[in-house]
Structure 1
Amino acid sequence: MTTLLLMVGLPGAGKTTRARQLAKEHNALRLTPDEWMIPLFGELVEADGRRDVLEGRLLWLALEALRLGTNVVLDYGCWSRDERSAIRWLAADAGASCRLVYVPVDQETQLARIAHREATTPDQTFPISEADVLRWRTLFDEPDDAELGVREVAGPPPGWPSWREWATDRWPSFA
């Protein structure tokens, strides 16, 4: 059975470093949107919903790879439980298992890593202020032990007939 390893965490947590390690360990295709933004759009910013468009297509690609027997590391961050649940359900629907890989980070370490990244590879990142970090930390829905250990995904939020339809709304290019 193929496996989708879904990276979960905030910017500066070390997700991409861990995703690279996991890709080697699991002989997996690694899909990291940040590495596609500059070649495709000339910038990393999320203006005009371009990141959502890219994530939708990468999610589609990840599911195709899983169906073809290739393990995948999806390096999104997945801040919301609904995003994680939808992706887990889609992976299961593709006949694959899904494992959440949560990379926690304390605020001080996060700020230091972001500053280091901006100083050493400014062409591969975008400016992130301390105010951004503080706001994002309040928006992040940290997975708990129950979510990290769950095997079955609950149904979609009220008003959605399926996780596929929810995902198509969240990532319009996924359909």
Structure 2
Amino acid sequence: MTTLFLTVGLPGAGKTTRARQLAEEHSALRLTPDEWMLPLFGDPQPAGKRDVLEGRLLWVGLEALKLGTDVILDFGCWSRDERSAIRWLVMSVGASCRLVYVPVDLETQRTRITHRRSTTPDQTFAMSEADLVHWRTQFEEPDATELDGHEVDGHEIGGPPPGWAGWLDWAADRWPSLA
């Protein structure tokens, strides 16, 4: 059975470093939106483009899983709903999903982002102290159920948020280019 490894964490946590390690360990396809934004759009954070790009990369990842290739999805996935939708999509193509949570404390995050901006400014986007603090309030840390895989193996991914017929509808709205 093919596996999608989903990295979860805030900017500067080390998700891409971990994704590179996983790709090498599992001979997997690594899909990292940050590496596509600048070449495609000339801007590391163009308004309205990231969700479209993530949708296409998610689509490519699902196709690769169907073909028997493991995939590393290096998105961050701050919300439980995003993670649940991706797990549902992965299960719908007959693959398994493994969350790879990369936690980071605020001081380490600051240090890493400062280093990244000074050494590879063309490969990242500006992040203020206010951004870092605000993002921490938006991030939904995965709980033990998500991390130990019971939710996936037991097929107990709950339903989508109210107002959505299913996870596919929710995902297509979140990532408009998925379908």
In the alignment, structure 1 residue 3 sits paired with structure 2 residue 3 = yes
* Secondary structure of 2:100's aligned partner: strand
Letter in 1 for 2:142: P
The TM-score with structure 1 as length reference comes to 0.98
Superposition RMSD on alpha carbons, in Å? 0.7
Which residue number in structure 1 is paired with residue 70 of structure 2? 71
CA distance in 2, matches of 1:44, 1:124: 7
In the alignment, structure 1 residue 59 sits paired with structure 2 residue 63 = no
Offset at 1:160?
A: 1.1
In the alignment, structure 1 residue 165 sits paired with structure 2 residue 169 = yes
Alignment deviations for residues 50-107 of structure 1 (CA, whole Å, 9 cap, x no partner):
0000000000000000000000000000000000000000000011000000000000
* Secondary structure of 1:113's aligned partner: helix
- Assess, with a 3 A threshold, how the Cα gap between structure 1 residues 46 and 100 changes in structure 2: closer, same or farther: farther
CA distance in 1, matches of 2:91, 2:25: 21
Alignment deviations for residues 12-63 of structure 1 (CA, whole Å, 9 cap, x no partner):
000000000000111100000000001100111141x100000000000000
CA distance in 2, matches of 1:31, 1:107: 26
Offset at 1:146?
A: 1.7
* Secondary structure of 1:132's aligned partner: helix
Structure 1: tracts of 5 or more residues without a match: none
Alignment deviations for residues 109-157 of structure 1 (CA, whole Å, 9 cap, x no partner):
0000000000000011111111100000000001111221222211211
- Identical residues among aligned pairs (%): 73
Structure 2: tracts of 5 or more residues without a match: none
Which residue number in structure 1 is paired with residue 18 of structure 2? 18
- How many residues are paired up? 174
Offset at 1:162?
A: 1.0
Which residue number in structure 1 is paired with residue 90 of structure 2? 91
In the alignment, structure 1 residue 128 sits paired with structure 2 residue 132 = no
Write out the 4+ residue segments of structure 1 that deviate beyond 6 Å after TM superposition.
none
- Which has the higher mean CA deviation after the structures are superposed, 154-163 or 82-91? 154-163
